[in-house]
Structure 1
């Protein structure tokens, strides 16, 4: 007999899939309701494993061209409200930084990455979520560099300013292969003394967190720690095996029909509008704390959607295989893990759902969980002061 809690959870999943299917079909028409859309694949992985958090329809954000950048000295105690948003100069949103040529079988791809900080500093690699890019870590770069770390962020294949090949089959394993090769290449660029003394810390948001876990598992001799800024349960929203038989046809309809060849293109074109993305971030509660939802963030997220191949990547990822679960990876990791989790995340909830972050510590020994009140799916961008303070403190403990 199915447990009542599971029945309620399955009912929530079915409701979410129906809402998404109806909203997606509406998005394919010339007129649609933004408030009807309960998923946001243009930013990060749309894994809806918890209860939908409803927001007031009247909730709005006044956007400003100013973008606060955090630069907080290590060990400084700051008031929480100030710590979340510490305004400094507004940077120019630069998309392309450095290029890593990734050779994959018979193909070569240009991969965009950003690197800042002292060459002799302990290296940290940051990995974005679905639809984001290196600039989504706009608040981590200055804080980590000031703390003495050499900071890298990479645009996964298909995102940001990296190549977007239409023929690729996008999956978690593809990105993990890229990250493994990138990490080895960057490590070889260091001097021999640096390689001996400085192992890597890898961190990521959403699917970037899942990829970071997998990289940590695959490179135990190169990675000394892993940081999760909320972690997805897979690349796509659901696995067929995780859902009851009566719900699976709904998922099939969404993946094969709504996101298929005939409707998918129009769906993407309507979906990537500024108005829609703003609605998802604010009304749908993806950003539990909307203080940093501003013009710069929208430019960061929307810019790459105009690139050739962006539509194909979007649809392939949305309908692609879910990949491994975090629970299957965690037991194989023997290095410290820090999870900084927004407790208001409607997609990858801290409590409840299929892959709640609150249970990750049951699968591995050295696991520290920090719940961030009021933050949603992207805590590193919503509450950067709190996130950076916790992360730098944890990194300093690793350095000892």
Structure 2
């Protein structure tokens, strides 16, 4: 079967699709049709094997609350460019800073899920003047995550097998895309709550994810995030990155975790506070790793509270 065209992620709806050039590449961004151009900017960053659609609920709800919410296809995903390199923490933070400026703003609140949350942490640490607040969904501070993997057997069992499996060339790409992206559906369903898996909303999300991962280059680029995150731990650039990340953020921060998340454990996210003293932890009961999709209204309310506390509106 032929690969989907990147434009297949430009779904019709109450939003506008745009191309924005930043940090040397083109990004596909989405914002609500009635988005206030002069409203406080909120940048929404998706996680592994995902794309902007992950934030469909928050995109419209935050706009209605008066914010300029912009959901992004990260470098290598969806209809954004897929360059051969740049999947390291330094470059990804530079992508976000470039996007903020290209959108005509000098500062933004960042909201991210999983890998997207790690980009939030990196941008806030490396470019503190550009970030007013960060909201994380299932995305612990990278140092907290590393320590937990090293010290906590349960967290190591939950995360390390995937990281190791993704390090070999070619085979992981084939695994993610074969049978029309069946592996992505299995991964998604294994990390969501059993109750939500039987919903039409979950079925729709799975359909979109399976198509998006089969866009030419998307699977390889998604895996490059994972490969850099793992391999850099044994190289100088990774040690320098972690040293740069070892700083205390003086901005409001929210960590949202699904009660049933099997991938990021509760003990791991509790370690965030060492790097974000103003961090508030919220547990979404009955939700898994994708709390922003499984319980969108509750997560959106928490994000609104975060944004209000940052004083940007």
Q: Where on the TM-score scale, by shorter chain, does this alignment land: which range? A: 0.7 to 0.9
**In the TM superposition, what is the alpha-carbon distance from 1:328 to its structure 2 partner?**
7.0
Listed as ranges, the matches of 1:373-384 within 5 Å are 373-384=285-296
**In the TM superposition, what is the alpha-carbon distance from 1:209 to its structure 2 partner?**
0.7
**In the TM superposition, what is the alpha-carbon distance from 1:150 to its structure 2 partner?**
0.7
Q: Secondary structure at the match of 1:332?
A: coil
In 1, the alpha carbon distance for the partners of 2:211 and 2:135 equals: 27
**In the TM superposition, what is the alpha-carbon distance from 1:267 to its structure 2 partner?**
2.3
**In the TM superposition, what is the alpha-carbon distance from 1:110 to its structure 2 partner?**
1.9
CA, structure 1 residues 254+384, in 2 after alignment: closer, same or farther (shift >3 Å)?
Answer: closer
Q: Secondary structure at the match of 1:148?
A: coil
Kept in 2: contact 1:327–1:363 (CA 8 A): no
**In the TM superposition, what is the alpha-carbon distance from 1:234 to its structure 2 partner?**
5.1
Q: Find the structure with the greater CA-based Rg.
A: 1
Listed as ranges, the matches of 1:216-295 within 5 Å are 216-232=124-140, 242=150, 254-255=165-166, 259-261=168-170, 263-270=171-178, 273-274=181-182, 276-282=183-189, 284-287=190-193, 289-290=195-196, 291=199, 293-295=201-203
| Aligned match for 1:98, one of 5, 14, 18 | 18
Q: TM-score, normalized by length of structure 1?
A: 0.61
In 2, the alpha carbon distance for the partners of 1:94 and 1:389 equals: 20
Listed as ranges, the matches of 1:130-279 within 5 Å are 130-165=48-83, 167-168=84-85, 170-186=87-103, 189=104, 199-232=107-140, 242=150, 254-255=165-166, 259-261=168-170, 263-270=171-178, 273-274=181-182, 276-279=183-186
Q: What 5-or-longer segments of structure 1 have no aligned partner?
A: 1-90
Listed as ranges, the matches of 1:66-105 within 5 Å are 92=12, 97-104=17-24
Partner of 1:391: 303
What count of residue pairs does the alignment treat as equivalent?
A: 282
In 2, the alpha carbon distance for the partners of 1:377 and 1:321 equals: 19
Partner of 1:70: none
Kept in 1: contact 2:16–2:31 (CA 8 A): no
Listed as ranges, the matches of 1:228-377 within 5 Å are 228-232=136-140, 242=150, 254-255=165-166, 259-261=168-170, 263-270=171-178, 273-274=181-182, 276-282=183-189, 284-287=190-193, 289-290=195-196, 291=199, 293-322=201-230, 329=245, 331-351=247-267, 356-377=268-289
CA, structure 1 residues 309+148, in 2 after alignment: closer, same or farther (shift >3 Å)?
Answer: same
Considering only aligned residues, what root-mean-square deviation do their CA atoms show, in Å? Answer: 3.5
* Higher RCO (C-alpha under 8 Å, 6+ residues apart): 1
Partner of 1:71: none
Partner of 1:49: none
Q: Secondary structure at the match of 1:364?
A: coil
Q: Secondary structure at the match of 1:138?
A: helix
Q: TM-score, normalized by length of structure 2?
A: 0.77
**In the TM superposition, what is the alpha-carbon distance from 1:386 to its structure 2 partner?**
0.7
In 1, the alpha carbon distance for the partners of 2:108 and 2:123 equals: 11
In 1, the alpha carbon distance for the partners of 2:243 and 2:16 equals: 35
Q: Does 1:113 align with 2:20?
A: no
1:200-227 CA distance string (max 9 Å, x none): 2111001111110111122322321111
**In the TM superposition, what is the alpha-carbon distance from 1:289 to its structure 2 partner?**
5.0
Q: What 5-or-longer segments of structure 2 have no aligned partner?
A: 1-10, 233-237
Kept in 1: contact 2:252–2:306 (CA 8 A): no
In 2, the alpha carbon distance for the partners of 1:369 and 1:253 equals: 29
In 2, the alpha carbon distance for the partners of 1:232 and 1:141 equals: 23
